Structure 1
Amino acid sequence: MTVTPRKSRVRLSPLGIALLAVTAIGWGLNFPIMKFLLSEWPPLSARGLSGIVGAAALALIAVWQRQRLAVPRAMRLRLVLVSVLTISSWVAFMGLALVWLDAREAAVLAISVPVWVALLAWPVLGERLTALRAVALVVALGGIFILIGGNSIDAGIEKLPGLLMALTGAVCVGLGTVLTKHFPLEMPPTSLAAWQIGIGCVPVAIAGLLIERPDPAALSAVGWASMVYLTLVQFCLCYVCWFAALERLPAATASIGTLLVPVVGVLSAAAMLHEPFGLREFIALAVALGGVGLALRAQ
């Protein structure tokens, strides 16, 4: 008589779930906070300068954790390439996209990153583009179309620059993620985050200082509080919590958990900025999340 062993369930760490929740909430709140900050400061300067300070803070945390900061010579070129794709492009393009888009719209567009990862893994990693991945891409883009083009054709055209910039940022992040899988960056997590954010935000900050010429006096008390949030919460706390969560949770669980980010972004934009959240927004969010869920399932 053969006894079939029971499949052991993977026990999820409560601390890992809590850390993932902090990450999702922190990153989700970034959308309405950044949208408000744009009313007082230009996007490249706000995102780039806060990122540099955040990277310096992460470096101090890495030293406190006794993680090495030295970058192996063989990794330097790929570190710069991945940092430009995943950080520079995201920080710059998503910041500029918010000039034309509402925070809720930018949050929904951010959902598409895992779909682009699944699509770009085909030519870069040789992972076959299955029918399920193709459907996932179509579904996710359908949700985006429902949200952006739902009012009228004229409204969709007015938002087109923001739509293109947000999608460009998402595609770049997807490509950077795939390249990271192809050329692994073997460094301690906090040190790696400090380098990536620092390298990625420096060119954005320089471009902001040269083109936008930001005036610190233009920031109100709420504006300064927003800058502090971007620096300490978005770039520091959330990244530390994210890497800590990855150490305690399966990768699939962590990936699905990040789907909370756009949900928090849409709901917080409605609460903080009084952006509309009706049936159309709910359907668009649900459809886009469904597409990403299919993409994650296909991996």
Structure 2
Amino acid sequence: MPDQTAAAARPSAAAHPPISAYALTLLALLTLFWGVNWPIMKIALSEVPVFTFRTVCLGGGAVGLFAIALWKRMPLGIPRGYGWKLTAISLFTITGWNVFVLYGLGMLPAGRTTILAFTMPLWLLPMSALVLHERLSGWKLAGLCIGLTGLAVLVGGEWQSMVSSPLGVLLVLGAAISWAIGTLLTKLYAVPMGAVPFVGWQMVLGGIPIFLLAPLLETDRWFVYSTGAWLAMLYNATVCFVFCYWAWNTLVRILPAGISGLSTLMIPVVGVFSSMVVLGEQPQWPEFAALALVAVALGLIFKPARAQPV
């Protein structure tokens, strides 16, 4: 697993260079593994309470990441003066995201409502332009609009049932905003650590409130889960919380924040189609229309800008 450092400077307003093959490979794997995790999470959460589920995932992910860091002899210490910055990042990317999205989804109908969480690019793009001074090209704005249209198509006829639970909608949107703020802070603070221990510390620091609440809120729910539930938790703790979180933080470091955020638009589409395979749901025209729209959006987002004449 390659490691990326935080040595890169903040992005300038200049147009971004073509996306490297390494970044595209990471993005493709991240999209696949995070996308198929939605039906896998449904399997786990049918038996496992939400805080217990996240405790296992965060704890397992942190242990795995620190084990990799030790194996590769990476420095594990938090650089002096960056402790509070790393804590702030962790509270948004780990605590806020996980608590808001799990409680929000508990109040909303099952299925496509998780797509609300992937409105994250809608919040991150203007943040990155205002704070990081990243350039908002016409292609990127067009890609954002088309991609969000694809997500709106996926929501489809379930919108009325979603707005009947406004608190649930607000919580999931809060999760998306929390993720966007955490991504922005990751780019802004540029903590000088390797990506592997950096993500491991995020899970420890951001997981503390979850670790403390799990035994308080779910003391009567500890029992022997089925093999399917344990396999789902194992997938989350290893593939999602080790590889996917590492890959995401690596992409945030090597790509402009707005581009890394927009690149997540395909994940809910993969989630919907994988739910059809795993849970036996039947595809309808909105799924195929959304897939086409998001594919067009990604093509526009990753379109290299023309070089400026000298």
* TM-score normalized with structure 2 length: 0.76
Q: Confirm whether residue 165 of structure 1 aligns to residue 174 of structure 2.
A: no
> Matches of residues 75-224 of structure 1 in structure 2 within 5 Å?
75-99=82-106, 100-106=108-114, 108-127=115-134, 139-148=146-155, 150-151=157-158, 153=160, 155-158=161-164, 160-213=166-219, 215-217=221-223, 219-224=225-230
Displacement, 1:101?
4.2
Q: Give the secondary-structure state (helix, strand or coil) at the position aligned to 1:194.
A: helix
Instruction: For 2:155 and 2:18, locate their aligned partners in 1 and report how far apart those are by CA, in whole Å.
Output: 41
Note the alpha carbon deviations across 1:239-292, whole angstroms, 9 max, x for none: 455567889xx7379777644432321111111123453112333455466667
Q: Confirm whether residue 25 of structure 1 aligns to residue 32 of structure 2.
A: yes
Give the counterpart letter for 1:281 in structure 2: E
Q: Specify whether residues 149 and 195 from structure 1 end up closer, same or farther in structure 2 by C-alpha distance, changes over 3 A only.
A: same
Instruction: For 1:235 and 1:127, locate their aligned partners in 2 and report how far apart those are by CA, in whole Å.
Output: 29
Instruction: For 1:145 and 1:159, locate their aligned partners in 2 and report how far apart those are by CA, in whole Å.
Output: 18
Unmatched 5+ residue regions in structure 1? 1-7
Moved more, 39-48 or 156-165: 156-165
Displacement, 1:58?
0.5
Q: Confirm whether residue 261 of structure 1 aligns to residue 267 of structure 2.
A: yes
Q: Is the 8 A contact 2:56 2:233 kept in 1?
A: no
Q: Is the 8 A contact 1:52 1:202 kept in 2?
A: no
Note the alpha carbon deviations across 1:216-257, whole angstroms, 9 max, x for none: 32521111111111111111133455567889xx73797776
Q: Specify whether residues 242 and 158 from structure 1 end up closer, same or farther in structure 2 by C-alpha distance, changes over 3 A only.
A: same
1:44 aligned residue (51, 62, 74): 51
Count of aligned positions: 286
Unmatched 5+ residue regions in structure 2? 1-16, 306-310
Q: Give the secondary-structure state (helix, strand or coil) at the position aligned to 2:82.
A: helix
Q: Confirm whether residue 251 of structure 1 aligns to residue 288 of structure 2.
A: no
Note the alpha carbon deviations across 1:130-167, whole angstroms, 9 max, x for none: 777666665555444443352463x2334544432222
Q: CA RMSD in A?
A: 3.5
2:21 aligned residue (5, 12, 32): 12
Aligned position for 1:272: 278
Q: Is the 8 A contact 1:32 1:103 kept in 2?
A: no
Displacement, 1:125?
3.1
> Matches of residues 282-297 of structure 1 in structure 2 within 5 Å?
282-284=288-290, 286-287=292-293
Give the counterpart letter for 1:270 in structure 2: M
- Percent identity between the aligned chains? 31
Note the alpha carbon deviations across 1:39-68, whole angstroms, 9 max, x for none: 111222212331122112111111111111
Moved more, 280-289 or 251-260: 251-260
Displacement, 1:11?
7.0
Q: Give the secondary-structure state (helix, strand or coil) at the position aligned to 1:217.
A: coil
Aligned position for 2:9: none
